[in-house]
Every structure is written in structure tokens, then in C-alpha cells.
């Protein structure tokens, strides 16, 4: 099963290496990883997507907790949360099918952010199903390249996963 973890870490050099190293060394799989600073500049938030069984997940969380620079881990998987990923898709497009592709983009509320004679770049934001659906459709025209940010997530409502209310 896929789990989404929000991990609050100290914003120090080497912390990403500690987390990534832990995963590879213990044979845990990271599906996606997104890192950015929080409002408090001394902290970063990592959103990790992990494909694991329940027992492995328990180990992942416990081992992460042992890292001195890790402050807090929240499992967002089973909580109501907003999950998003931003994806840039470069798709083959010519004069004949360009408007067709534009229509698909519109339907998905995606943006065309670059146009050339042979291609378009489409920027799409959404959850996994949405991204999968548009990717499937665009594949029909020929996808040239894809770049993804990895998933980020926040709990719904006023509840937070922050550390001590920052």
C-alpha cells in the first residue's frame, strides 16, 4: 500500500542525505519525495510517498524518528487531506491536433505554458488520478518528456502537522 508521510526536519546540511540514506540502507522504497522550507526557516518539510506493507511502514517511521534531525512524522494516509502534485508534460503537437490537445488541457484545468511548432508543454496540478488520467490521454499524441515535483499534502481543516505551532 502507498503511504504519505509528512516529515518535519531541521533545515541543516546533510539532512536529506540522512533520510534518503536510511531508506536505501534499510531497503525501503521511496515513491516520491518533495522537500521545502516551512514558515520557520530553520525547519523543512518533507513529503514522502512510501510503498510498503504495514510492518515495514512501522519500521520506516520508527527508524526515521531515530534520526536526531527529524522532529516530527505524521502519517497523512488515512486522514482527510489534500494531496497535490505538479507535473510538466511535453507532448507532440502540430497544427492539426494542437487545438484538440488544448481542449483536453482545459478540461483538466491544466495550462499550456509553452508552444512550439512540434510540441506543447502542459502544466497540470492535481491528485494522482487526475494526473494519471491526463497522462493517459496525452500519451495518445506522443509524450516527449515529463517532470514531476512529487506529492505534497496538508491535512484538511484547521488541524496541522506542525511542530509546536509554528
Partner 1 sequence: MRLTGARMVLEALRLEKADLVFGYPGGAVLPLYDQLYDAQVRHIMSRHEQGAIHAADGYSRASGRPGIVFATSGPGATNLVTGIATAYMDSVPMVIFTGQVATPMIGTDAFQEADITGITLPITKHNYLVKDVHELPRIIKEAFYIATTGRCGPVLIDLPRDIQAAEADFRYPQEVFIPGYNPTYQGHPGQIARAAKLLSRARKPVIYAGGGVVYSGAHGELLELAESTGIPVTTTLMGLSGFPGGHDLALGMLGMHGTYWANMAVNDADLLLAVGARFDDRVTGKVSRFAPGAKIIHIDIDPAEIGKNVRVDIPIVGDVRLVLSELLKKTAKADTAVWLEQITEWRRAAPLHYCQDPEGELCPQYVIEKLYEETGGAALITTEVGQHQMWTAQYYRFNHPRSFASSGGLGTMGYGFPASLGMQAARPTELVFCIAGDGSFQMNIQELATAVGYRLPVKVAIINNQYLGMVRQWQQMFYRSRYSSVELQQGPDFVKVAEAYGALGLRAQKPSEVGPALRRAIETDGPVVIDFRVRPEENVFPMVPPGSAINEMIRGESK
Contact 115, 105 (CB under 8 A): no
Distance (Å) of CA 92 to CA 41, 100, 104, 137: 41, 12, 14, 12
Q: Of the candidates 65, 46, 58, which has an alpha carbon nearest to the alpha carbon of residue 8?
A: 46
Give the residue with the Cβ less far from partner 1, 63 or 102: 63
Q: How far is the CB of 166 from partner 1 (least distance, A)?
A: 11
Report the sign of the C-alpha dihedral through residues 112, 147, 47, 13, in that order: negative
Q: Examine residue 41 and tell whether it contacts partner 1 (CB under 8 A).
A: no
Applying the rule CB under 8 A, the residues between 3 and 22 that interact with partner 1 are 9-10, 13-14, 17-18, 21-22
Binding test (CB under 8 A) with partner 1, winner from 2, 29, 36, 62? 62
Q: How far is the CB of 66 from partner 1 (least distance, A)?
A: 6
Q: Of the candidates 110, 60, 64, 54, which has an alpha carbon nearest to the alpha carbon of residue 87?
A: 110
Site string for partner 1, 66-95 (x = CB under 8 A): xxxxxx------------------------
For partner 1, the binding residues (CB under 8 A) are 9-10, 13-14, 17-18, 21-22, 25, 55, 58-59, 62-63, 65-71, 163
Amino acid at each position: 500500500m502507498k503511504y504519505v508521510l509528512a516529515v518535519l526536519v531541521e533545515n541543516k546540511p546533510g539532512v536529506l542525505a540522512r533520510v534518503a540514506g536510511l531508506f536505501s540502507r534499510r531497503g525501503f522504497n521511496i515513491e516520491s519525495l518533495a522537500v521545502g522550507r516551512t514558515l520557520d526557516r530553520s525547519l523543512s518539510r518533507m513529503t514522502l510517498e512510501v510503498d510498503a506493507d504495514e510492518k515495514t511502514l512501522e519500521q520506516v517511521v520508527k527508524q526515521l524518528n531515530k534520526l536526531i534531525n527529524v522532529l516530527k512524522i505524521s502519517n497523512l494516509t488515512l486522514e482527510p487531506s489534500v494531496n497535490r502534485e505538479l507535473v510538466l508534460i511535453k507532448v507532440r503537437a502540430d497544427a492539426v491536433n494542437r487545438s484538440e490537445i488544448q481542449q483536453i488541457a482545459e478540461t483538466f484545468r491544466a495550462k499550456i505554458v509553452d508552444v512550439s511548432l512540434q510540441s506543447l508543454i502542459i502544466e497540470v496540478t492535481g491528485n494522482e488520478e487526475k494526473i494519471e488520467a491526463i497522462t493517459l490521454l496525452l500519451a495518445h499524441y506522443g509524450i516527449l518528456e515529463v517532470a514531476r515535483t512529487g506529492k505534497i499534502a496538508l491535512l484538511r481543516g484547521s488541524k496541522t502537522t506542525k511542530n509546536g505551532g509554528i
